[in-house]
Amino acid sequence: MTSSADGDPLANARSALASGDPGEALRLTFTAAKPAVRQQDDEALRSASALASEIADAASGRIAKEARQYSFYWLACIEQPRDQQPNAWSFLPWFKREPRERRQPCPQCAESIVVGAKECRFCRHRLD
């Protein structure tokens, strides 16, 4: 991994963001961060996370939401021991996951739902 600006895999993502294409910027950031996740390159992960956060501020809707989640994900990759990290394809459910003891089956459809939820997110059954 080179430290020159030319070798910075996030440089293209930064220019996509600068030219007003946050969606492309996020895609490029993701591509750049993939090897960093594998190699646990904390510095690259921190840069990717910071850039994703900038993208989230510049974007709206789905892109902003995804950028924020990736920003969180890449930071988590720094903080979590390697064997406890989610992989890129499974990280969304990983973040949504609640501790087991805080879940209960829905009385209507039996899907596992969070204790204290007002409504089942699967069948919309009301829980009072």
Residues that bind Zn ion (CB under 5 A): 106, 108-109, 120, 122-123, 125
For the bound state, the minimum distance from the C-beta of residue 94 to Zn ion, rounded and expressed in Å, comes to: 22
Nearer CB in complex with Zn ion: 60/108: 108
List phi, psi (to 5°) of 70. -65, -40
For 52, the enclosing helix (H) or strand (E) is helix 42-58
Report the C-alpha gap between 7 and 28 in whole angstroms: 14
Nearer CB in complex with Zn ion: 1/123: 123
Nearer CB in complex with Zn ion: 18/110: 110
For the bound state, the minimum distance from the C-beta of residue 79 to Zn ion, rounded and expressed in Å, comes to: 34
For the bound state, the minimum distance from the C-beta of residue 118 to Zn ion, rounded and expressed in Å, comes to: 12
Give exposure, 15-39, as e/b (b: 16+ Cβ within 10 Å). ebbeeebbebbbbbbbebbeebbee
